[in-house]
Amino acid sequence: MKTYLKAFRLKRFWLLLLLPAAFLLDFAARQSADFAEWYAVTIYPVYAQFFSAITGVFPFSVGEFCLIALVLFILAYLIHGVYKLIRHKEGRFAYFVRFLSVPVLIATCIAFLCVTNYGTNHRRYSFAAVSGLTVRESSAEELYNVCAYLINEANTLRENLPEDENGVFQLSNDVFLDADEAKSSFNSLHDTYSTLYTNGKPKPVLFSEVMSYLDISGIYCPFTFEANVNVHMNDVLIPVTMCHELSHLSGYMREDEANFIAFLACLQSDDPKFRYSGVYLASVHAMNALLTVDSDLWNRADALKSDALRRDIRSNNAYWKQYETPVSEVSDRVNDAYLKANGQENGLRSYGRMVDLLLAYYRDEL
């Protein structure tokens, strides 16, 4: 009996206390949006800005390399552990406990960091409430007006922008210069929206095409505080995706809000390519919403698109079409379940709620 008890006397087991701590923090955030907002504006920014400044020194995604290293470590650890379990018969139970403790404690630390660096911010006040935007039901005609406005803006911005040999929009700058522009444009929102600020910069992912197979355009890494971007996809979405992931880094985790904040950030840019990218994404979301409520109005708005805008839309749709595989479908279901688990009841459909914020933003103007 003493032998079995001794097996559990590992000093590292104190890390298991992180699990109830994560549970209590998540419970408090679920019960009180006031607490979640307080955490998001007082606690989270302190360490998020500190660590994002450190990882921001590196031009590559530290999180991507950490993930690769973790996978290799686990594989090597499992092979070595199984080998030792087979070779050493004496004290096998004690060794098995030590062997199992490592992946368990790694999972515990990951769960804790997910709550402190990501999950809690899901429960904060909505961006609409913080920004003063009034979200309400709108008519199909109002939605059409927003669509028409955005399409006309996209048509104007698209003129004279660089293209590839197929006449499709192309970013002319180096991706790292675009990352600098994304950070600058995003932080320029701080004067108007005090909760928006970041020390980090978006990072290009080395294995970006793998993200395309998973139907992912960007991802925020809560362990290294990095905004990671798929740079293999069409250029038209890269600037707005950079700003989208910076929205997560600044503490806004809801996908619909991050899309809208990214749109606002792109509008702040002096670079017409960024402004076009933001308006492009907004028009796509608005048009998708209009199609579900009034196909005639959708046809009227669609007729306003310039040939250049149509080329970009066709190219982007064709790009993602080639990655529609069972793998991407599974990834979508996993992401959908994750969003629901973090309070976004509409799951992937919450991406469409950006339109309500667009309507609120343009209501006075239109």
Tell me: the pLDDT tens digits for 12-23? 667 788 889 999
Q: Which residues are registered as beta bridge partners of 219? A: 228
* pLDDT tens digit sequence for 95-141: 777 788 888 888 888 899 999 998 899 999 999 888 888 888 888 99
Q: How far is CA 311 from CA 58, 112, 277, 347, in A?
A: 36, 45, 14, 30
236 in the same domain as 137:
yes
Cα–Cα distance for residue pair 288/355, rounded to 1 Å: 9
Q: Are residues 50 and 140 in the same domain?
A: no
* Total Cβ atoms within 10 A of residue 299: 11
Question: Burial, 307: exposed, middle or buried (Cβ in 10 Å; 0-12, 13-18, 19+)?
Answer: exposed
* Whether residue 109 sits in one domain with residue 147: no
Regarding whether 102 and 59 lie in a shared domain, the answer is yes
Residue whose token pair is 């310039």: 306
Question: Are residues 73 and 163 both part of a single domain?
Answer: no
Compute how many other C-beta atoms are within 10 angstroms of the C-beta atom of residue 67: 15
Q: Are residues 225 and 96 in the same domain?
A: no
- Evaluate if residue 353 carries a pLDDT over 70: yes
Rounded distance between C-alpha atoms, residue 9 and residue 314, angstroms: 61
Instruction: Report the residue count for the chain.
Output: 366
Q: How far apart are CA 225 and CA 254, in angstroms?
A: 16
Q: pLDDT band at residue 352, thresholds of 50, 70 and 90?
A: low
Whether residue 98 sits in one domain with residue 210: no
Residue 159 pLDDT greater than 80, yes or no? yes
Over residues 257-281, the mean pLDDT reads 97
Confidence grade of residue 336 (pLDDT, cut at 50, 70, 90): low
Q: Are strands 226-229 and 202-204 parallel, antiparallel or unpaired?
A: parallel
- Range of the structural domain that residue 39 is part of: 2-123
Cα gap 320→299, rounded to integer Å: 23
* Amino acid of residue 10: L
Read off φ and ψ for residue 229, nearest 5 degrees. Answer: -125, 135
Note whether 154 and 300 are same-domain residues: yes
How many domains are there within the chain? 2
The per-residue pLDDT for 1 is: 47
251: left (phi over 0), alpha (psi -120 to 50) or beta: left
- Residue range 290-312: mean pLDDT, rounded: 96
| pTM for this prediction | 0.86
CA distance 163 to 272: 14
Point out the domain boundary residue: 123, 156, 176. Answer: 123
Closest to 355 in 3D by CA, of 218, 257, 273, 219: 257
Residues 100 and 159 both lie in one domain: no
In Å, what is the CA distance from 125 to each residue of 264, 265, 325? Answer: 18, 20, 36
> Is there a single domain that holds both residue 117 and residue 243?
no
Judge if 100 and 134 occupy the same domain. Answer: no
Residue 272: per-residue pLDDT: 96
Contacts by 307-311 with C-beta closer than 8 Å and gap 24+? Answer: 308/155, 308/158, 308/159, 308/161, 308/163, 308/167, 308/169, 309/151, 309/154, 309/155, 309/158, 309/280, 311/166, 311/167, 311/168, 311/169
307 and 177 share one domain: yes
Q: Hey, what are 340's tokens?
A: 């629901």
Domain boundary (76, 102, 123) is at 123
Instruction: Point out which residues pair with 218 in neighbouring strands.
Output: 229
161 has a pLDDT exceeding 90: yes
From 123, 139, 162, the end of a domain falls on 123
Strand order in the sheet with 202-204: 202-204, 226-229, 218-221
Average pLDDT over residues 163-188: 94
pLDDT > 70? residue 9: no
Per the CB < 8 A criterion, the answer to whether 239 and 274 are in contact is: yes
Handedness of CA 121, 217, 202, 195 (dihedral sign): negative
CB atoms within 10 A of CB 241: 27
**Residue 29 carries which side chain, given as an amino acid letter?**
A
**What distance in Å separates the CA atoms of residue 16 and residue 10, rounded to the nearest whole number?**
11
